[in-house]
């Protein structure tokens, strides 16, 4: 009987030792993940502390933000302005409905972070300057003018925005 108890005691000791080593391995893996997460979060926080307007790299996103901003200069973006914007993006970007709706939502969120995306015009137009040729830049300016006239005559702020975009893009050619 004492041999069976010794064997059971040994098995119990092996079981607890095995659980201890497995637990230590899990804690080590979690510590490694925490270190990696800390590194990633540091990189993300440097980017996250900036406004979306300042971090974009895709010219379609930049154009959608500019279109939304110019529409919002006339007040809240109306259903007509939304339809015009979606139509312009669908035609010029040759994008499907889902992509166009995502770009619209992204633009609304980005413009909502700042009072005036036009104040960050240099950073807003940087992806367009970097990735678009002269013809695409010209089509972008036509898109801006069309958006400004969606509800009738453009306001002074809309006209200033279009003129500033023209000036900046003409300088980068």
pLDDT tens profile 59-83:
999 999 999 989 888 778 889 999 9
Q: Among residues 152, 135, 5, 125, which one has the least CA distance to residue 67?
A: 125
Cβ atoms within 10 A of the Cβ of 159, count?
15
* Secondary element (H or E) of residue 139: helix 134-148
Position 92 pLDDT exceeds 50: yes
Q: What is the mean pLDDT of residues 137-141?
A: 91
Q: Which residues contact 12 (CB under 8 A, 6 or more apart)?
A: none
Q: Which residue would you say has higher pLDDT here, 113 or 76? A: 76
Position 16 pLDDT exceeds 90: no
Give the predicted TM-score (pTM) of the model. 0.68
Q: Name the least confident of 50-59, 134-143, 158-167.
A: 50-59
Q: Cα(165)–Cα(117) distance, rounded to whole angstroms?
A: 12
pLDDT tens profile 27-37:
877 766 666 66
CA 68 to chain centre: 15
Position 145 pLDDT exceeds 90: yes
* Secondary element (H or E) of residue 106: helix 97-113
Degrees to nearest 5, angle at CA 72 with 71 and 75 = 115
pLDDT classification of 151: cutoffs 50, 70, 90? confident
Cβ atoms within 10 A of the Cβ of 49, count?
9
Q: Cα(33)–Cα(148) distance, rounded to whole angstroms?
A: 49
pLDDT classification of 139: cutoffs 50, 70, 90? very high
């Amino acid at each position: 009987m004492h041999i069976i108890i010794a064997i059971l005691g040994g098995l119990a000791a092996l079981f607890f030792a095995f659980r201890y080593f497995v637990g230590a391995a899990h804690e080590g893996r979690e510590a490694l993940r925490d270190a990696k997460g800390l590194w990633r979060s540091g990189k993300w926080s440097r980017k996250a502390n900036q406004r979306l307007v300042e971090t974009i790299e895709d010219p379609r996103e930049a154009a959608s933000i500019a279109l939304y901003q110019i529409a919002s200069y006339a007040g809240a973006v109306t259903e007509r302005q939304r339809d015009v914007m979606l139509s312009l993006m669908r035609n010029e970007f040759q994008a499907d409905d889902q992509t166009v709706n995502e770009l619209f939502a992204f633009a609304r969120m980005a413009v909502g972070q700042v009072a005036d995306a036009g104040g960050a015009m240099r950073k807003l137009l940087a992806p367009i300057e970097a990735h678009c040729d002269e013809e695409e830049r010209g089509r972008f300016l036509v898109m801006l003018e069309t958006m400004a006239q969606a509800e009738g005559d453009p306001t002074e702020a809309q006209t200033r925005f279009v003129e500033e975009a023209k000036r900046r893009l003409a300088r980068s050619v």
